[in-house]
Structure 1
Amino acid sequence: MTPSPACVLTDIEGTTTAIAFVKDTLFPFAQAALDGFLDAHGDDPTVAAILADVRDAAPGEEPRAALRRWMAEDAKVTPLKALQGLVWQAGYADGRLLGHLWPDVAPSLRAWAAAGTRLAVYSSGSVEAQRLLFGHSEAGDLVPLFAGFFDTRVGGKRDAASYAAIAGALGLPAGEVLFLSDVPEELDAAAAAMMRTCQLVRAADGTAPSGRHPEAPDFPAVARRFGLPFPA
């Protein structure tokens, strides 16, 4: 019988969290809160530096107008991403925002951690954003459950070397790590690095099964498939 994994490495969007959470909750929140945040914090050194970067990136355009234009375009512009992160941080801190998790996620994570399975996150969102989501989640502060948080600073999510680097950072053979994601190409890369894999196929997210990896509709199904414990 194959032993249960020593570590579960999980993606966020489409795996622990609805894909729509970023588009339907986080982005509209940042847009609605932008003016109030800049009115309150525009003179803070960090915010002032970001606004200076906005002026450099959009010369001749009023910074707030440039930021709103970038938001409407879903532009991947560094000063916009930095400012959105600060707005979200403020929203999480005062309770206006809660990180979305599917209802099966937190009980499963707690059961796995209590049984000695190590937990880690690998997402294209920054480590800081990951910590905010899990630290201010609908199920409470889950950050203490995790042994590590990884973002694309370790490498691309479709690059096998990234998964080898994560296994090394965790001090585990790659074969003892189970990677959970909804994206087949990410799972392909993890499998190429010798990690075990499982595709989360959540009906509410419209995920299409690839047929290339074990599949599960939720975390309890992952537990059944890989010999992990269930919540009490």
Structure 2
Amino acid sequence: MPIKAILTDIEGTTSSVSFVFDVLFPYAARHLPDFVLNHADEPLLIEQLDAVRAQSGEADADLIRVIEILLGWIAEDRKATPLKALQGMIWAEGYQAGQLKGHVYPDAVEALKRWKAEGYGLYVYSSGSIQAQQLIFGCSEAGDLTPLFSGYFDTTSGPKREADSYRRIVESIGLPAEEILFLSDIVEELDAAQQAGLQTIGLAREGGELRGHDTVASFAVIDLDRF
């Protein structure tokens, strides 16, 4: 059955892992304390801080303790939804101030534009918040790429290494699973997508193979006609 939509990961797939770990995470860590203290009375932030307290099991944590918890989560790359939401808010300020520009590989930009022109539906699934996804593509070095995408999915759809998450996404997209191609650089994510019935291609930009999946080093060599 031919592919009609592409669901892509970001980190290590469309964008450099080093951009996330060497630019975005340190930026969020540096600015998080002041951001939390300066916006602590805003409803959206209050909601996320309460979620941090709930997930950490520290219901009575004050602001300073919540900041400590969040910085610890950043250091260990915890896939916690409230952390991702807060990082997205901080990065938004950085992008708007021109201090950040989203990295997207040129081969990914070219392929995504071509696939969009050819009528494929394009979607994103990343552990980063939907806001963070839109910022990377909306404020990218290649300009605003958000018009290319029909939808975004994050950890609110479930963990990326569980098949049920992809089943939820398939239901949201509204196509049969076998008509959706998932792109990622992580074997466990590809396995989960495959278990949910999606087609898969692994990205190994430094070479090598993602076991059990067709593997390429660049978007430029992905052939959608072979499905």
Query: Does the TM-score normalized on the shorter chain lie above 0.5?
Result: yes
* Offset of residue 162 of structure 1: 2.0
Partner of 2:216: 216
Q: Kindly tell me: are residues 160 and 106 of structure 1, through their superposed partners in 2, closer, same or farther at Cα, counting changes over 3 Å? A: same
Question: Within the alignment, does 1:99 sit opposite 2:102 as a pair?
Answer: yes
Does the alignment pair 1:66 with 2:68?
yes
2:22 is aligned to 24
TM-score, normalised with respect to structure 1: 0.80
Count the aligned residue pairs. 221
Instruction: Give the match for residue 144 of structure 2.
Output: 141
Q: Tell me the alpha carbon deviations over residues 100-148 of structure 1, each in whole angstroms, 9 at most, x when there is no partner.
A: 1111111211111011011001111121211111111111111111111
Distance in 1 between the 2:152 and 2:48 partners? 25
CA drift of 1:31 comes to: 3.0
Using the TM superposition, name which of 18-27 and 80-89 deviates more: 80-89
Match of 1:194 among 181, 192, 197: 197
**Do the aligned partners of 1:124 and 1:157 also contact (CA within 8 Å) in 2?**
yes
Q: Does 1:176 align with 2:174?
A: no
So what's the TM-score if we normalise by structure 2?
0.81
Asked if 2 retains the 8 angstrom alpha-carbon contact of 1:31 and 1:71, the reply is: no
Instruction: Let me know the Cα RMSD of the aligned residues.
Output: 3.0
Q: CA deviation at 1:96?
A: 0.9
For the 8 Å contact 2:85–2:131, the answer to whether it is kept is no
Q: Which runs of 5+ in 2 are unaligned?
A: none
CA offset at residue 218 of structure 1?
0.7
Q: What runs of 5+ residues in structure 1 fail to find an aligned partner?
A: none
1:111 to 104, 110, 114: 114
Residue identity in the other structure for 2:163: A
Q: Quote the Cα distance in structure 1 between the aligned partners of 2:224 and 2:110.
A: 17
- Conservation of the 8 A alpha-carbon contact between 2:183 and 2:203: yes
Cα distance, 1:166–1:78 mapped onto 2, change above 3 Å = closer
**How far apart, in 1, do the equivalents of 2:172 and 2:52 lie?**
35
Q: In structure 2, the residue corresponding to 1:227 is in which secondary structure?
A: helix
| Alignment match, 1:9 | 7
User: Closer, same or farther in 2 for the Cα pair 1:60/1:140, shift >3 Å?
Assistant: closer
Point out the structure with max Rg over C-alpha.
1
